[in-house]
Amino acid sequence: MTLPFSIDLHGKVAVVTGGSGVLGSVLCEALAEAGAKVVILARNQEKIDQVVTSIQKDDGEAYGFSVDVLNKKDLERVHKKIQENIGPCSILINGAGGNHPKATTSHEYYPSEQVVPEGEQSFFDLDTEAVGSLFHMNFLGTLIPSQVFCKDMIGQQDAAVINISSMNADKPLTKIPAYSGAKAAISNFTEWLAVYFSKVGIRVNAIAPGFFLTDQNKELMIQEDGQLSPRAHKILSQTPEGRFGKPEELIGTMLWLVSQQASSFVNGVVIPVDGGFSAYSGV
C-alpha cells in the first residue's frame, strides 16, 4: 500500500474494531504500513485472518481476535491478551457498527393513501428489538471498547481515539431513522469523550464517511443486473463528486487524526469525508 503521506507509528499498538470490513481493513493496512502493530477485532475469524495475512505479506505486524464488542467481559479478556503479548493500546479506531433491515422503512414517505402493502414496512412496523439492537451495535459498540482500551492511553500524551460516525448523523437519510440516530449519538459521544479525556493526553475525534460501497449496503446500491439502484442514483445526484468514495480515500484523514505532530490541537471534531455531500443544498 502507498500512503498519501508518511507518519511514523512504530512502537504503537492500534486496535481497530470492525477491522475486517471493507473500510476497516483498508484502515488496518494503512496503520500497519505506517509502522503500527495492528490488532483487528471483529466477529468473523476467517475475515480477520484474511486481513492479518494481507498485512503480514507486506511485512506488517498484525494480530486478530474474534470478539463481540458488546460483550465487555469477553473484550476485557482479549484486552488482557493484547497487553501481555503485544503492548498497551495507543490508537483506537471504533469501526464496528451497521444497520438492520427490521429497523428500516420501505418508503421515504408515509403512503398518501395511508395503506401499506403487505410485506412492506412503515414507521409503525419498525421492530423495537431491532432498533435497540442497532443502537447497541453502533453506540454501545463504540462506548464499550473505549471503556476497555482507553485505560491504556491515560497519560501517554499522544494517544488517539477515532470513532466512525456518518453523514446520516447530521442530516438523516430517509428510510433509516434508527441508524441515523445511532450515528448522531456517536458524533455527540465523540465530543463528550474528547472533553472528558482532554486533561490526560487522549484526543478523541471522528470520521463521518459519505457514501462508500460496502458489504452491508451493496445490495441496496447495486441491482441484480449490475446497474445502480434508484436510491444509488439519488445519492450520487446529491454528491457533487458524482461517485461513491473509495475506501483508501479515508486513509489520509485517519493518519492526520492519529498523528500527534499533525493534529495535536484537533480534538472533539467530526470530519466529513463525503465528496461534498454535506455542502450541497440540492439546488
CB atoms within 10 A of CB 248: 16
The radius of gyration computed from the CA coordinates of the chain, to the nearest angstrom, equals: 19
d(CA 204, CA 154): 12
Instruction: Note if 179 is an active site residue.
Output: yes
Determine the Cα–Cα distance for residues 52 and 48; give it in Å rounded to an integer: 6
Q: Which three cell numbers stand for residue 145?
A: 471498547
List 189's β-bridge partners, or say none.
Answer: none
- Of all helices (H) and strands (E), which one includes residue 189? helix 177-196
Half-sphere exposure at residue 153, Cβ-oriented, CA atoms within 13 angstroms: 28
| 3-state SS assignment for residue 51 | helix
HEC states along 127-142?
CHHHHHHHHHHHHHHH
H or E stretch including 223? none
**Which residue in this structure is represented by grid cell 464499550?**
144
Q: Of 109, 179, 196, 280, which residue is the catalytic one? A: 179
**Residues whose CB is less than 8 angstroms from the CB of residue 84 and which lie 6 or more positions away in sequence, other chains included:** none
Report, as residue numbers or ranges, the catalytic residues.
179
